[in-house]
Amino acid sequence: MIPLSVLGAGAWGTALAIQFARRLPVCLWARDLDQAAAMARQGQNAAYLPGLAFPVSLQVTADFEAALHHARGGLLIVATPMAGLAEVLVRIQHSSQAGLGAKVLWLCKGFQEGTGALGHEVAQAVAPGLRVGVLSGPSFAQEVACGLPTALVAASVDAALCDEAVATLHGGSLRVYSCADPVGVEVGGAVKNVLAIAAGIADGFRWSGPCGESLGLGLNARAALVTRGLAEMTRLGVALGAQVQTFMGLSGLGDLVLTTTGDLSRNRQVGLRLAQGTPLAQILSELGHVAEGVRSAPMVWQRARRCGVEMPITEAVVQVLNGQHTVAEAVEALMDRRTRPEADGPVA
């Protein structure tokens, strides 16, 4: 059996560790010593996935080097938020237990705050000696941990790494496909979080109808938003070097549909509450989990502007998040945009 360690004990990292440990010996690393001790003692991650028992083959540790040693020669899955990716990659590259040539996949979905870099760009900058890729796709942590059917994609320009990832991770209720377009997979994973906020806003927004009744925007509006959001995602991805067809797959359309319609989506919940008038700071304080779309939205928009790519839905989300526009003003601005052909080229 190929050894495996998951670095990061949030909801998503824990869920995959549980899933993998049903077939493989897995080590789950938690940054916080008290959290690691509590999980080892309780046999569950009570903070993020309460009630879901760990398989007996799942070890928990706060010792980073021990986690790397467990997976020596195997795979490392980085399950930190995007803000923690660079630090973990540097630690892996300089570790005596892993070092140059270590095989790493990350779960992070977003653009790095401040730089606007995607995961593969972060890796190139801080840890060029690692063999790297991304694991993504439509997946809620709760369902994965419960063993419900899920399909993911492992993407890397390193074909051998993709093959090993599929051979190791595919099995049971988890299907894993390979992809040679990590740029497209990462753009899909990042932008869908921003669009999920937009979908939540659209679903939660209310306005007064002709007879004074309270009306929402409706399912037609959601369908339009998802479709035009996919066009935005694809435009940006192609500008960054991705392949168009990637956005029709699991990490593009699949993840977009899931996060814009599923009630387990944290980013969609942010949008719903923004539409109800709840201040963003209060939403994030009460959420209890990271909503990557809030951090990524300004970076997505800035990256798009540098590439000369129009992303009006993303721009509207940014303006609502930073208080520049109310929800009503953002909706009105989107509806008042000039008309255009739906397909102005392959990625209009």
Gap between the Cα atoms of 218 and 229, Å rounded: 17
Please tell me the total count of domains within the chain.
Answer: 2
What pLDDT shows up at residue 214?
65
**Could you tell me the pLDDT band of residue 331, with boundaries at 50, 70 and 90?**
confident
> What mean pLDDT, rounded, does the chain reach?
92
pLDDT confidence of residue 346: 45
* Token pair recorded at residue 237: 């991805």
- Domain boundary pick from 180, 205, 236: 180
pTM attached to this predicted model? 0.92
Is position 344 within any domain? no
Q: Choose among 139, 249, 132, 262: nearest CA to 188.
A: 249
- The two tokens of residue 311 are 């992303």
User: Of 109, 120, 192, 268, which is the active-site residue?
Assistant: 192
For residue 297, pLDDT beyond 70: yes
pLDDT at residue number 174: 96
**Which residues share a beta bridge with 4?**
26, 75
Chain CA centroid to CA 207, Å: 31
d(CA 208, CA 66): 59
In a domain, 309, yes or no: yes
Indicate whether 346 belongs to any domain: no
Note whether residue 310 is domain-resident: yes
Q: Which of 180, 203, 234 is the last residue of a domain?
A: 180
CATH label of the domain that carries residue 27: 3.40.50.720
- Cα(271)–Cα(274) distance, integer angstroms: 5
Contact present, 131 and 154 (Cβ < 8 Å): no
Asked if 188 and 174 sit in the same domain, the reply is: no
Reported confidence tier of residue 271, pLDDT bands at 50, 70, 90: very high
Q: Are both 175 and 195 inside the same structural domain? A: no
Q: What is the CATH number of the domain that holds 263?
A: 1.10.1040.10
129 phi/psi in degrees, rounded to 5: -85, -5
Q: Do both 65 and 122 map to the same domain?
A: yes
Determine contact, residues 13/35, Cβ cutoff 8 Å. no
243 lies in the same domain as 152: no
Identify the band that residue 291 occupies on the pLDDT scale cut at 50, 70 and 90.
confident
**Same domain (yes/no): 213, 94:** no
173 and 203 part of one domain: no
Q: Is residue 11 part of a domain?
A: yes
Look at residue 42 and tell me if it is in a domain: yes
- Residue 176 and residue 206 in one domain: no
Domain containing 299 equals 183-335
Q: How many CB atoms lie within 10 A of CB 322?
A: 11
233: exposed, middle or buried (Cβ count in 10 Å: 0-12, 13-18, 19+): buried
Kindly state whether residues 22 and 110 are assigned to the same domain. Answer: yes
Same structural domain for residues 102 and 223?
A: no
CA 311, CA 329: separation in Å to the nearest integer? 17
Higher pLDDT, 347 or 40: 40
Together in a domain, 35 and 165? yes
- Given a cut of 70, is residue 210 above it in pLDDT? no
Q: Which of 135, 154, 180 is where one domain is finished?
A: 180
Whether residue 341 is contained in a domain is answered as no
The pLDDT value recorded for residue 348 is: 46
Whether 192 sits among the annotated catalytic residues: the reply is: yes
**What tens digit of pLDDT does each residue of 6-37 get?**
999 999 999 999 999 999 999 999 999 999 99
State the CB neighbour count (10 A cutoff) for residue 344: 9
Question: Same structural domain for residues 161 and 197?
Answer: no
Is 283 within a domain? yes
14, 72, 203 from 146: Cα distances, Å: 11, 28, 28
| Same-domain check for residues 132 and 173 | yes
